[in-house]
Structure 1
Amino acid sequence: MDKLFRLTGALALAALLTACSAARPVGDFGRADPSFTHDVAMPFVGGKLAENRGEPVSSFNKTDQEDTMHDRVWRFLVAAHAKDWQFDQSVELQRTRIVPPEDRQFTVERYYAWLQSTPYNSSRTRYATVGRHITADIDTLPTTFVSICTVIEIDRQRAEAYRGLAGGLPPRFAQEVAARKAENDAFIAWFVRALNYRYSSYDYALDSLLVETPHEQSLAVDEALRRMAAFVPRANRYDFCGGRGTTTAGGTVVIPSRYQHTADQEIVLQK
């Protein structure tokens, strides 16, 4: 009964938050702005709902590296520059775990539909718009890959730390470590889907524009799309570390042994 009461309360609060919330507010360069509703209230409710769905939920605090990954990946999950063609509000509900993943249902024609319905003084400007959007993505993809690689290393180090210190920790830490890795893995998988969706949407838009308004500007857009395409198979292979396996961008954590002996200077470093 108590569990049912908590679930009912969480559902009621989720409905209230859903009714009053819009897409997450943004600041400069499309980066997320701090918001109590989006950073505290919605994630709290989403965590309770995810638990009731049987999904892993960790109460561990996030590392700085995990926060950075979330911030960098977030711009690929939404499309503020194109007025919700990527379902910004439903993405926010998914990000805060109020609803399970919905992005698998996205269809690629929405970006082109937005371009087609947006009034421009010149039909050539639509090509320039697509080119700018692709270039903005290309400019941020390398650092996004690095941030993901860093979190993969953090998960490895967290598991290594637990194996070395498990004797002095409560059993729940094993569940917490596994749950946080599952959460990070799910978020990385979401980025992979989002990158594929965005690339496919640009590709569909370019093909459609070539038929609707043929212009020589298509060559520059095609070249930008070709450069973006280099990142897509890497993401699909989960090759975020450039073949290195780990990253040196803030991923090294020194974990001292809790039981010091003369010859025991345990340091867990990157492989």
Structure 2
Amino acid sequence: MQDTMRRPARAAPIRSLTAALQAMLVAVLAAGLPGGCARPTGDFDRATPNVMHDEILPEAGRVMAAKRGEPTSTFNLTDQEEELRNRAWALIRPASSRDWVDATATEAQRTRIIKPIDDKLDPRIYYMYLRSDKFSSSQTRYDRVISDISGDTDLVRPFCQLAVRVEDMDAERLNATNRRPDLKPEEYAAAVGRVNENRRIISWVTRALKFRLVAYRHAIDRLEIETPSRDRVWDANTAWRHLAGEVAFASGGCREKPQSGAEADARARKSRIYTHWGNERPAPVK
């Protein structure tokens, strides 16, 4: 009877904490509009340290994710897990720094305030902002697209290398839990929750890369119509193809697949000529 009487007293602080965090979130959303809930960035669009976005919102999101029945973890992050999250940010944030709407949605998903909604975002928004920028030359828009594509291409392999290390670490973590008969249920849940969190991040980056591939393809195709430039279209398409190869590598699990000698020779003989020219499509029928 005494245990029964004490249980509500222990549960009350948890309910109060949840309510307080939710109230805090509402206040942040109300005070931060229109762009206040996007993650602050500095030079080169890198995330800058911020108590609200690094501590308060993630803790509120962890509580809300747990209420939704999603696996969560209170474990400390390893160095590799911390770096994984930092590198992931560069690939999941909106490609256009002016897109504060998607930036706010991305931050809400990153902190787990809301369920994943990245599949609801519109890849055409990138070109909308690109064409609205006032440049002195139309060629500058091609330069911007090529620069954005090349920047993403350079980020894929370092992220993949880190993702593989984290996945191997998670496998070691799960094996260790199976070897510890004295493991407490909450410790096991935290271990599984951390593995789930890492997998969610890696999966999100893969989706974000595919999203950017579609966004850049749309931008190049529209630029070719709006401000034609055969040389720059060639350069943009070449950059896009390189990114597509890296996206395919990431989508395949970020691990090199062994090739036979015949496969390697066939790949070496493959033509380097790129045929995805816009003017190779049939002319519109009037």
Q: Please tell me whether residue 198 in structure 1 is matched to residue 212 in structure 2.
A: yes
Q: Structure 2 CA distance, aligned partners of 1:140 and 1:223?
A: 17
The CA deviation at 1:5 is: 4.2
What's 2:254 paired with?
240
- Give the Å deviation of 1:161: 1.9
C-alpha distance in 2 between matches for 1:33 and 1:82 = 14
Which residues in structure 2 correspond to 1:80-229 (within 5 Å)? 81-84=96-99, 87-164=102-179, 166-216=180-230, 217-229=232-244
**By how many angstroms is 1:187 displaced?**
1.2
Give the Cα separation in 1 of the matches to 2:212 and 2:101: 9
Is the 8 Å Cα contact of residues 160 and 254 (structure 2) preserved in structure 1?
Answer: yes
Which position in structure 2 is the counterpart of 1:26?
A: 41
Give the Cα separation in 2 of the matches to 1:146 and 1:59.
Answer: 25
Q: Deviations over 1:116-144 (max 9, x none)?
A: 11111111111111001111111111101
Preserved CA contact (<8 Å) 1:43 1:97: yes
Partner amino acid for 2:215?
A: S
Query: Separation in 1 of the partners of 2:100 and 2:153?
Result: 19
Other structure's SS at 2:155 match:
helix
Is structure 2 residue 71 aligned with structure 1 residue 60?
no
Could you tell me how far 1:210 is from its partner in structure 2?
Answer: 0.9
Instruction: Measure, in 2, the Cα distance between the counterparts of 1:112 and 1:195.
Output: 16
Report the CA distance between 1:172 and its aligned residue.
2.1
Q: In structure 2, what is the Cα distance between the partners aligned to 1:46 and 1:183? A: 12
Q: 2-side partners of 1:108 and 1:183: how far apart?
A: 25
Letter in 2 for 1:169: L
Shift of 1:4: 5.0
Bigger-Rg structure (1/2):
2
Following the alignment from structure 1 to structure 2, what is the Cα–Cα distance between the partners of residues 209 and 28? 28
Kept after mapping to 1: 8 A contact 2:96/2:129: no
Q: Does residue 1:16 correspond to 2:30, yes or no?
A: no
- Secondary structure at the aligned position of 2:181 is classed as helix
The 1-side partners of 2:95 and 2:249 are apart by 25
Cα distance in structure 1, aligned partners of 2:133 and 2:43: 23
* C-alpha contact (below 8 Å) 2:65/2:112 kept by paired residues: yes
Distance 1:80 1:204, change over 3 A: closer
Instruction: Give the letter aligned to residue 154 of structure 1.
Output: M
Aligned pair in 2 of structure 1 residues 172, 85: CA closer, same or farther (>3 Å)?
closer
TM-aligned CA deviation for residue 80 of structure 1: 6.4
Q: Give the match's secondary structure for 1:168.
A: coil
Q: Which moved more, 1:137-146 or 1:77-86?
A: 77-86
Q: CA deviation at 1:241?
A: 2.6
User: Are the equivalent residues in 2 in contact too, given 1:69–1:144 (CA < 8 A)?
Assistant: yes
Between the two proteins, the alignment pairs up a number of residues equal to 242
Shift in Å, 1:157 = 1.2
CA RMSD for the aligned pairs?
1.9
| Structure 1 pair 50–104 and aligned structure 2 pair: CA distance change class (3 A) | same
C-alpha distance in structure 2 between counterparts of 1:29 and 1:133, whole Å: 11
Structure 2 distance, partners of 1:129, 1:81, is 10
**Deviation of 1:56 (Å):** 0.8
What is the Cα deviation at residue 242 of structure 1? 2.2
CA 104–152 in structure 1, closer or farther in 2 if over 3 Å, else same:
same
